[in-house]
Amino acid sequence: MALCQEWLPAQGVERDMIFRELNNAKCKTYLLASGSMGRAVIIDPLKERVERYLGVLAYHGLKLELIVGTHTHADHRSGAHELSELTGAPVAMHRRAPAPHVRMHLEDGQRLIVDDFELKVLYTPGHTPDSISLYAEDRVLTGDCLLIHGTGRADFAGGDAGEQYDSITRKLFALPDSTLVYPAHDYRGHTRSTIGEEKTSNPRVAGRSREAYVELMNNLGLPLPEGIQEALQPNQTEIETAAMHFPTLAQLNSVRQLSPAGVAERIGAAAAPLLLDVREPDEYTGELGHIAGARLIPLRELPERAAAELAPFKEKEIVVICRAGVRSVTAAAILAGLGFDHVCNMKGGMLDWNDARLPVER
């Protein structure tokens, strides 16, 4: 395969591994491929550039094997689902990712092998609960956990600055100092850094205690990302904005939360709540199962089905359930907007329900 000058093999790697950032923009999408065997992985594709990625793959004769999302993005629409539909390549994300069509759920330490190279999954939560970094050969793709001379914000979408500090200092800084750092974003025109450089000169982390980092991150006072309403909930739900009127952040924040243990207690009470599962049918019967008696109405169908099917439950308590407890917040806020006054969300969804070893049916 003829490679142009930009398609250099990864530095320090003898094998013919191709590595390239495909957007030349603030939002980074990476391509990793085996030059000799022709299989490729795309990481963090943007929705508006899917056709460009297909063109790049076709031009260079690469077959897309896998699409990986480093986390659920709040500032742009992900192209992962669309790219997957067009190529058949599965989408892989951390198991905490809320979206319904992720085919491979990843765990810390898992190795993704494509031809003659592998990506090691490092669970690096903090920016979001589903944030991962990918370690390949001499480089690490850090998503929005560690940026070049910065860090991704941790003040919305389930972020946690303390967790992020631990991810950076214990997981990423444990890599060799020479490891190249490629983040999912850069706003100042940088393309890469190294672990050693970030250890000594990252202005948010270097020389700062965990406590001081949390204090700093909780007081950044940044405005919410532009277009968050058009990006975050569609990425979490894989539902197009045109097809769904999503609740506002204030509406989402006002949803009452109930732990799985709290839900289990309610189920046993005299006036048991209606359990409303808003996942897709294949998830309802899938690996995480469902709670006995839970009624299934997928989120995408909820606005049109709620009035007719849930009218008898208007005065009753409704507990909304999904995979990670994210789509269900959207569903709960939609129901509240339709006049259901006693709706709450099961925090952590079926993931936490299973982790608490509470009973499921499949």
157, HSE (Cβ side, Cα atoms, 13 Å): 28
24-32, 136-144, 276-284, 328-336 -> range binding Fe ion (CB under 5 A): 136-144
Measured from the CB atom, the residue of 161 and 276 that comes closer to Fe ion is 161
Tell me whether residue 69 or residue 273 sits nearer to Fe ion (CB atom). Answer: 69
* Binding range to Fe ion, per CB under 5 A, among 140-148, 242-250, 280-288, 305-313: 140-148
Please count the residues of this chain forming the interface with Fe ion, following the rule CB under 5 A. 2
From 138-146, 205-213, 317-325, 340-348, give the range in contact with Fe ion by CB under 5 A: 138-146
Q: How far is CA 18 from CA 54, 185, 209, 241, in A?
A: 16, 20, 38, 35
Minimum distance from CB of 235 to Fe ion (Å)?
Answer: 10
CB of 333 to Fe ion, least distance (A): 22
DSSP string, 81-122: HHHHHHH-PPEEEETT---TT-SEEE-TT-EEEETTEEEEEE
- For 288, half-sphere exposure in the C-beta direction (CA atoms, 13 angstrom radius) is 26
Minimum Å gap between C-beta 77 and Fe ion is: 12
Instruction: Tell me the window of 17-25, 141-149, 234-242, 344-352 that interacts with Fe ion (CB under 5 A).
Output: 141-149
- Closest approach, Cβ 106 to Fe ion, in A, equals 17
Residue of closest CB approach to Fe ion: 144
d(CA 293, CA 266): 13
Considering the rule CB under 5 A, would residue 16 count as an interface residue with Fe ion?
A: no
Strands (E) located in the chain: 17-21, 30-34, 39-43, 63-68, 91-94, 104-106, 111-114, 117-123, 132-136, 139-143, 146-147, 150-151, 180-183, 193-194, 256-258, 274-277, 295-296, 318-321, 343-346
Nearer to Fe ion by C-beta: 231 or 306? Answer: 231
Q: Examine residue 144 and tell whether it contacts Fe ion (CB under 5 A).
A: yes
- For residues 105 and 84, give the distance between their C-alpha atoms in angstroms, rounded to a whole number: 15
Using the minimum distance from each CB to Fe ion, give the nearer residue, 144 or 160: 144
**Least distance to Fe ion, CB of residue 275, Å:** 32
CB closer to Fe ion out of 155 and 309:
155
Min CB(27)–Fe ion separation in Å: 9
Helix (H) or strand (E) holding 252: helix 249-253
> Which of these segments, 12-20, 137-145, 173-181, 308-316, binds Fe ion (CB under 5 A)?
137-145
| Shortest spacing between CB 153 and Fe ion, in angstroms | 8
Residue with tokens 């709450």: 344
Q: Considering the complex, what minimum distance in angstroms separates the CB of residue 71 from Fe ion?
A: 6
Q: Which of residues 56-85 bind Fe ion (CB under 5 A)?
A: 73
39 versus 95: smaller Cβ distance to Fe ion = 95
Question: What sign for the dihedral angle of Cα 170, 109, 287, 298?
Answer: positive
Q: Give yes or no for a contact between 169 and 226, defined as CB atoms under 8 angstroms apart.
A: no
Is 130 among the residues that bind Fe ion (CB under 5 A)? no
β-partners of residue 78 are 46
Q: How many CA atoms lie within 13 A of 110 on its CB side?
A: 13
Residues that bind Fe ion (CB under 5 A): 73, 144
